[in-house]
Amino acid sequence: MSPDPDRLAAFVCRQLENFYPDGLDSRAVVQAAMPAALDRVRHCVGQVIAWPQGFDPVMSGQYASFLYFLSNEVGVTLKDGVTATRLFLLNKALHGLELFYDVALPEVFLIGHTPGLVFAKASFGSHLVFHQGCTIGHKLDGHRPHFEGHTVMFPGSMVIGHCRIRANTVIAPGVVLVDCDTPGDCYVLAGPGGPRKPIFKALKAGAAPFWQRYFHA
């Protein structure tokens, strides 16, 4: 499916009016941001192996990504923070994720399932996978995670504070990293002391990188 930009803009504006009937008219800015947002989501979706059909707004993970790109274009590029915030709130209401418009996600990422995802303003490399219930959080001291890229976070995992997640890291379900780096090319597993005491297991030598299960190489 290749949605018509004008019809998609009208669809988004109707959703905004229904969820937030505050009388604001967002049509002009949404239409202005639509070409760039569509280009970005099509590029992102096109890298995902499981989505050969391309961008389809009725697929929730794709539509959540699209609303993020649209809010980012509106807020960061077009400097309309009010409409960008309304788009963020629409995305949150529809998909149950916390992804503010000025969080700088990479141009290629995959949201497997949306509920319970929380994104702080961390530093994100490319080709990241986020499953449901994942948290990327900052601490009150201002420290935020840095993702080098090509990382998979399985459901319920958390990365909080001063963490450097090196390339080709796979974080197992429920594992919590707080002020903790990873060596890269590794699985991060719950240790004997529980999910907050992780251990690192090297990926099998010679095996294809784990991220290639999700994205085209």
Residue 17 lies in a domain: yes
Please, are residues 99 and 119 in contact by the beta-carbon 8 Å criterion? yes
- Are both 176 and 139 inside the same structural domain? yes
- CATH assignment at residue 184: 2.160.10.10
Question: CA 147 to CA 29: how far, in whole Å?
Answer: 32
Do 126 and 175 reside in the same domain of the chain?
A: yes
- pLDDT means per 10 residues in the chain (217 residues)? 86 96 95 98 98 94 98 98 98 98 98 96 97 96 95 98 97 97 97 91 91 95
Asked if the structure places residue 102 within a domain, the reply is: no
Q: Domain for residue 191, yes or no? A: yes
142/67 Cα distance (integer angstroms):
27
Reported pTM: 0.96
> Is-contact 50 27, C-beta < 8 A?
no
The reply to whether 64 falls in a domain is yes
Tokens describing residue 10: 């009208």
Number of domains in the chain: 2
Do the domain assignments include residue 105?
no
**Strand ordering across the sheet containing 146-147:** 123-124, 146-147, 164-165
Looking at residue 2, what is its pLDDT? 66
Containing structural domain, residue 87: 5-95
Which of 95, 130, 152 is the last residue in one of the domains? 95
The reply to whether 29 and 82 lie within a common domain is yes
pLDDT at 63: 98
